[in-house]
């Protein structure tokens, strides 16, 4: 994994990596680091993916940068992501060896009966996953039609992935802030690097989507295993 990261760093020197390109790199590192473990939390033994925590959180920080480009509309979601990253980092810092992966943290809380508490790391992982669900839904809409209405794309993505779990206050706040979404061309331009065409951005987004889909499938399996996948906002 160290060799792979070094190769990526060398490539970065030759070409300025865009925001989407950086996200692709982080997910590539995470994909290499994943291992399959056996869990007996349920009556039947289950094979699940063991997700290293630090690469996962690094990717989540890149999501914050993407959301920043959408503007004030994503302020609440952005703040939520940041708080959840910090909560998981604090758990990791308490014992970097034991809590080096997400599954160990969620297993600990499940055994303690604290998974569903408002400040649990399991709940933090749940909302980070939903933020990634939103990001995936938005990117899929953009890559399908780069000229579509940005406000509509953001609203449809929110309605599909996050709105079902938000309370009415959060939903109302989002609806008001939706008017501040930048137009499509402005958003694509800030995602692009110097001298990068919209077609190149589209190709980068496709690469990111191809890595994000299996990651989210694995995350949802873990959340369902520990029975926190249906929790709503507190």
pLDDT surpasses 90 at 107: yes
pLDDT surpasses 80 at 13: no
Mean pLDDT lowest for which of 4-13, 110-119, 183-192, 202-211?
Answer: 4-13
> Confidence band (pLDDT; 50, 70, 90) for 162?
very high
Mean pLDDT lowest for which of 19-23, 103-107, 154-158, 211-215?
Answer: 19-23
- Whole-number pLDDT of residue 42: 46
- Looking at residues 125-153, what average pLDDT do you find? 93
More confident site: 37 or 92: 92
Label the pairing between strands 35-39 and 46-50. Answer: antiparallel
| Distance, CA of 72 to CA of 153 (rounded, Å) | 16
- Looking at residues 181-207, what average pLDDT do you find? 84
């Amino acid at each position: 994994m160290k060799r792979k990261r070094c190769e990526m760093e060398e490539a970065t020197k030759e070409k300025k990596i865009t925001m989407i390109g950086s996200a692709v790199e982080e997910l590539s590192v995470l994909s290499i680091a994943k291992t399959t473990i056996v869990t007996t939390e349920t009556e039947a033994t289950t094979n699940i993916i063991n997700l290293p925590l630090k690469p996962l959180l690094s990717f989540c920080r890149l999501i914050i940068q993407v959301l920043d480009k959408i503007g004030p509309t994503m302020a609440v979601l952005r703040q939520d992501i940041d708080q959840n990253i910090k909560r998981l980092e604090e758990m990791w810092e308490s014992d970097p060896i034991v809590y080096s992966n997400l599954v160990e943290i969620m297993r600990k809380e499940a055994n303690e009966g604290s998974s569903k508490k408002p400040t649990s790391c399991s709940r933090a992982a749940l909302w980070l996953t939903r933020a990634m669900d939103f990001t995936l839904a938005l990117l899929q809409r953009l890559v399908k039609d780069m000229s579509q209405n940005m406000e509509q794309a953001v609203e449809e993505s929110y309605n599909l992935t996050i709105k079902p779990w938000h309370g009415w206050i959060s939903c109302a706040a989002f609806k008001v802030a939706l008017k501040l979404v930048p137009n499509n061309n402005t958003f694509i331009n800030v995602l692009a690097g110097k001298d990068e065409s919209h077609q190149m951005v589209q190709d980068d987004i496709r690469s990111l989507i191809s890595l994000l889909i299996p990651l989210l499938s694995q995350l949802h399996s873990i959340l369902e295993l520990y029975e926190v996948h249906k929790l709503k906002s507190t």
